[in-house]
Amino acid sequence: MEQKYEASASVVRRLPRYYRLLQELERIGQQRTSSRELGRQLGMTASQIRQDLSCFGCFGQQGSGYAVKELRENLERIMGLPQLLPAILVGAGSLGKVVSENVRFEERGFRLIGIFDIKPELIGKELAGIAISPLEQLEAFCAAHHPAAAVLCLPKESAQAAAERLVSLGIRGLWNFSHCDIAVEHAQVVTVHLDDSLMTLSYKLHNL
């Protein structure tokens, strides 16, 4: 049975940062690290890192720190990355093309199995080695393949309706690039607002 964890949203958001850093340490051949070293490289305190990791069990040993490979594998397991949940992408325009061809889905816990669009000129073309299907085939595809997640690369005016339709077809998670916030029941939504990141940088440059 898959183990479930309880952690705050802020802790969950930090897990990928830890994971990326551990990957880099492993890549350069470093075998052990410490909460102090991780904190120094991430701009965090050692106690915060220890507190975050304690939400998921006991890792490392006092005085000798963490085995890099072991901790990276534990975080991989905690985030469910090896399971490769099936996902689809809706919206094969310019943004959908960038996301489908540049995001390393299979290194991040997902396997892209379908791409959909409404534009006749896109149907049958391939993105990331997957043929674009017409949106009217969405119901039949979901019934046959049971994707767990969907990537939304749609105009904001159609994103909410599309999200509701996808959830009704069994989608449990939405990665939303549609430049708007959407709200649906019975599904997890992660929205990517590139503008927010830029405005945050503007604030920091003016105020910090």
pLDDT for the residue numbered 3: 72
Residue 92 lies in a domain: yes
Q: Are residues 67 and 91 in the same domain?
A: no
- CATH code of the domain in which 45 resides: 1.10.10.10
DSSP code of residue 2: P
Classify 166 in phi/psi space as left (phi over 0), alpha (psi -120 to 50) or beta: alpha
Q: How far apart are CA 108 and CA 106, in angstroms?
A: 5
pLDDT in tens, 65-124: 899 999 999 999 999 999 999 999 999 999 999 999 999 999 999 999 999 999 999 999
pLDDT in tens, 125-148: 999 999 999 999 999 999 999 999
pLDDT in tens, 164-190: 999 999 999 999 999 899 999 999 999
User: pTM higher than 0.75 for the full model?
Assistant: yes
3-state secondary structure of 103: coil
Q: Are residues 89 and 190 in the same domain?
A: yes
Residues 6 or more apart whose Cβ sits within 8 Å of residue 203 = none
**Structural domain of 22:** 9-78
Total domain count for the chain? 2
Q: How far apart are CA 18 and CA 23, in angstroms?
A: 9
